[in-house]
Amino acid sequence: MRTKKILSVLLAIFLFATMFGMAGAFAEDAVEAAGEVSAQAAARTGWPTAVLLEDAAAYAGGWNQGLIQWTPFVKETKRNEKDEIVTKTDSFADYKKEGEALVKWTIVSAIQYVVKDDVETRVPVSLKIENTPEEAARNPVAVYQADTGSTIDLVVKQGLNEFYGEITATLTVTAPTLAIDGSTTTERKASEATMESAPITIFIRNPEKFKELIDKVQKILDKGSRYDEDFIKRVQAEVTIANLYYRSYPSEGSIKINETVATLENILTEAPAHILFSRADWLQWLNNMFSNGFISFIWGAVDVFSFIGKIFSVTGPMWKAIGSFFGALLKIFNWITPLFALFGA
């Protein structure tokens, strides 16, 4: 009897252990299967998880026009188990060809720089995005979207009116996350995702305003002996770069122009701190006390008196000739005066 009980307990333990073993194996298989599904889903992802528009994607293509470019995701190429190169049909172009990809540019804000009586104000304006340059040319500002095959562009050009200012835009892209190969249209349609880029801004600038800023800084170089040697070297380097950008817009576009404008403006602000006049301690003390404006004032006075001197050097002969004329005229009157007295008698 006892033997039967022992065998029953052992059998129960065996069955219990076997059941848990099977359950454990099933659970392990399930996890492995889930891992395979996840891996397959990841492998079949057809496009990035975000639409990235880097600052370098904003160009001008020239001072009077602007351009923002997005480079779509391309086909994924990899080797299979047989070491064969396989190109998956899941590029943005493929999705667009199948009518499953959409892109939309949106102008978040547009600010126009308006100059009146040498005062610049910023005025919000409304701009319309067209699908062709011909349609866009009819508008005050010509804005249109274009697909070059390798990039998705937002183009800004001068339209019926002159436009200088800043335009901030975003790009929204909708496409399937499943690759075209190995999935049905219904599956791909159900997996669609929509992503929006972060806002990006381009600047449409008047090149002549940029040149005016360069000319202001150039005046510092024209009187370079008045400033620190290291400061003048730095100014010369910046002016050289700025002139280069004025003649040919940099490939980095708005980024480099923004940096250059800020640098030139900073040079104009800090220039008084680098002016030289005398190494005398008392003069330097006065200069510091008046916030670097004292020596600058002295040089300004020197310029004024020098200018006045130049005027007199040029007009001196004229005034001398006028004086000689009136002197001769007085001599004539002195000669004919007795005759008037004679006739008067």
Q: pLDDT for 140-176, tens place per residue?
A: 999 999 999 889 999 999 999 999 999 999 999 998 8
Count of other CB atoms within 10 angstroms of residue 306: 10
From residue 320, alpha-carbon distances to 13, 57, 155, 329, 332 in Å are 133, 67, 65, 14, 19
What is the mean pLDDT of the segment spanning 55-80? 80
**Is 312 a residue whose pLDDT tops 80?**
no
| Amino acid 64: pLDDT | 87
* More reliable by pLDDT, 31 or 45: 45
Among residues 69, 70, 78, the alpha carbon closest in space to that of 45 is found at 78
Asked if residue 31 has pLDDT above 60, the reply is: no
CB 296 within 8 Å of CB 275:
yes
| Position 75 confidence tier, pLDDT thresholds 50, 70, 90 | confident
Neighbours of 204 (CB within 10 A): 24
- Per the model's pLDDT, the better-predicted residue between 12 and 290 turns out to be 290
User: Taking Cα atoms as reference points, which of 201, 213, 208, 278 lies closest to residue 239?
Assistant: 213
* Owner of token pair 């562009």: 153
Q: What secondary structure, in 3-state letters, does the chain show?
A: CHHHHHHHHHHHHHHHHHHHHHHHHHHHHHHHHHHHHHHHHHHCECCCCCCCCCHHHEECCCCCCEEEEECCCCCCEEECCCCCEEECCCCHHHHHHCCCCEEEEEEEEEEEEEEECCEEEEEECCCCEECCHHHHCCCCEEEEEEECCCCEEEEEEECCCCCCEEEEEEEEEEEECECCCCCCHHHHHHCEEEEECCCEEEEECCHHHHHHHHHHHHHHHHCHHHECHHHHHHHHHHHHHHHHHHHCCCCCCHHHHHHHHHHHHHHHHHHHHHECCCCCHHHHHHHHHCCCCHHHHHHHHHHHHHHHHHHHHHHHHHHHHHHHHHHHHHHHHHHHHHHHHHHHC
Range in 35-39, 71-75, 191-195, 338-342 with the lowest mean pLDDT: 35-39
Q: Is the pLDDT of residue 203 over 60?
A: yes
Widest Cα–Cα separation across the chain: 183
- What is the pLDDT at residue 79? 76
Does the pLDDT at position 183 exceed 90? no
Q: With cut-offs at 50, 70 and 90, classify the pLDDT of residue 23.
A: very low
Is pLDDT above 50 for 20?
no
Q: Output the pLDDT for position 328.
A: 58
- How far CA 232 is from CA of 22, 39, 200, 220, 228, in Å, comes to 83, 61, 35, 8, 6
* 123, pLDDT greater than 90: yes
Contacts of 111 (CB under 8 A, 6+ apart): 122, 123, 124, 125, 165, 166, 167
| Ranges of each domain in the chain | 1-43, 55-205, 208-276
Does pLDDT of 199 surpass 70? yes
Q: Which residue has the higher pLDDT, 295 or 192?
A: 192
pLDDT for residue 236: 97
pLDDT at residue 42 above 60? no
pLDDT at position 291: 56
What is d(CA 35, CA 166) in angstroms, rounded to the nearest whole number? 49
Give the strand pairing for 129-130 and 141-147: parallel
Q: Report percent pLDDT > 90 for the chain.
A: 33
* Averaged pLDDT of the chain: 75
Confidence of residue 296 (pLDDT cuts 50, 70, 90): low
Rounded to whole angstroms, how far apart are CA atoms 228 and 276?
A: 7
> pLDDT value at position 22?
38
Q: Reply yes or no on whether the pLDDT at 86 is more than 80.
A: no
Q: What is the pLDDT of residue 268?
A: 95
Contact 159, 141 (CB under 8 A): yes
| Mean pLDDT on 72-90 | 79
Average pLDDT rounded to a whole number, residues 242-267:
90
CA–centroid distance for 345 within its chain? 92
Instruction: Grade residue 13 by pLDDT with cuts at 50, 70 and 90.
Output: very low
